[in-house]
Amino acid sequence: MNENYSQNPKLETIKNANGMSVTIMDWGATIISLNVPVKGDSNREVVLGLKDPKDWYTQACFFNATIGRFANRIANSQFTIDKTTYVLNSGSTHCLHGGVDGFDKRRFKLVDKSDNSLTYTLHSPDKDMGFPGNFDLTVVYTVTEDNELVISYVGKCDQKTYACITNHAYFNLNGKNSSVLNHSVQIDSDYYLPLDKDSIPTGEKRKVDGGAFDFRQEKTLARDFRRDPQMEAALGYDHPFLIKGDLNKAFIKVTSDDKKLSMEVYTDYPAFQMYTGNYVHQGDNNIIARDDGLEYQDQCAVCIEPEFYPDCPHLEQFKDVNPMVTPEHPLEKTIRYKFY
C-alpha cells in the first residue's frame, strides 16, 4: 500500500433540492458522507465515518470505498484464462477486494463535476495486483431529485480479465453510532451461496426457505442472527444472496429502528453480499466514530455490496451470469440507493 495515495485528499460534494448531499473523496473514490432528509425529522448521516481523517489510511474495513479490480474473494489468489494462470498479489491465501493495493487505496482522477454529479477515472496497468490487461475504470456518482444516489461503473480492458467493481458502503440508518441488528430487512432472493470456513463459495446454490437466510418476509437482522452454522466462521451475516439483477426493481429494503427512514437498493449485478460489520472492532482495528468519539463496535453497520458471485472464476456452473470483461464487452454496471 502506497501511503502517498492518502495524502491531501480532495473532497467534492453533490446535492439535490431536497437537502440530500453526498461527499466523495478522490482517494478510493470513497463516500465520506451520505446525508439524507427524513420526513418530519432532521437529516441523517447514513454511512459510517471517521473522527480522525488520518484513520482513513489506517482503517482496514474498506469503509465506503470503490472496490476493484475484483470485489469479494478469489480462492487461492489465482485464476486461469485461456490456459494462462494469473497469480494475484493478495497478501494472504485468498484474494479479497482486489489485493493488498486494491482500488480502495488508489487516488482517482476527477474528470467532470456538476451540482449533482461527479465523474472519476482510474487506470490500472497490465499485471496490476496480478490481473491481466490494461483496465480503465470510470465511476459516476449522481444524486437525483428522488433522493437516490446512483453509482455507475464502466470498466474497459484490452485483454480478457475478471473484474467486479462495487462500493463497500457501511450503512446505519439510525443516523448515529449504534447497532444495526434491529434494522428491518426484506430481500427478494430465493437462494444464497453457502461458504466454507474461509468464506469461499462451496459451489452449492442453497434455498433460503424458512431459515436464517430467508428475508422474503421483512424481519430484523437480530431475529436469526448467528442461528445457522453458516454464520459461525463469519461471526454473522457475510454471505452472497442471488438476485434477479433488475434496475427497475429493488432487491432489498432496509429500515431504521424507529421506522422513519428506509433504503431500497437496485442493481443489474446478479448477486450481492450482505455483511453485518462483524469485524469492525477486532484486535487493534478500533475505529473512532465521527459523531460521538466512541469506538465503533461490531454490527454497527450493514453493507450491501452488489457484485458477481464471489470466486466466480472458479464457478464454471454459473459462468453465464458472471461474464469476463473483454475488449469487445466492457464491464457496465449500476447501483442505485433510494432513501425515503
For the chain, 340 residues long, give each residue's pLDDT as a single digit of tens: 445 555 789 999 999 999 999 999 999 999 999 999 998 899 999 999 999 888 888 899 999 999 999 999 999 999 999 999 999 999 999 999 999 999 999 999 999 999 999 999 999 999 999 999 999 999 999 999 999 999 999 999 999 999 999 999 999 999 999 999 999 999 999 999 999 999 999 999 999 999 999 999 999 999 999 999 999 999 999 999 999 999 999 999 999 999 999 999 999 999 999 999 999 997 766 899 999 999 999 999 999 999 999 999 999 999 999 999 999 999 999 999 999 9
pLDDT the model gives residue 285: 66
Catalytic annotation present for 232: no
Active site residue 94: no
Report how far residue 252's alpha carbon sits from residue 304's, in angstroms, rounded to the nearest whole number. 9
For cell 494462462, name the residue.
Answer: 84
Closest Cα partner for 44 from 29, 33, 30? 33
Are the C-beta atoms of residues 198 and 336 closer than 8 Å to each other? Answer: no
Question: DSSP letter at 50?
Answer: B
pLDDT at position 145 is 98
- CB 161 within 8 Å of CB 68: no
Q: Which of 97, 168, 183, 239 is an active site residue?
A: 168
Catalytic residue of the set 94, 183, 239, 305? 305
Domains and CATH numbers, the chain: 3-180+276-339 (2.70.98.10)
DSSP letter (8 states) at residue 55: H
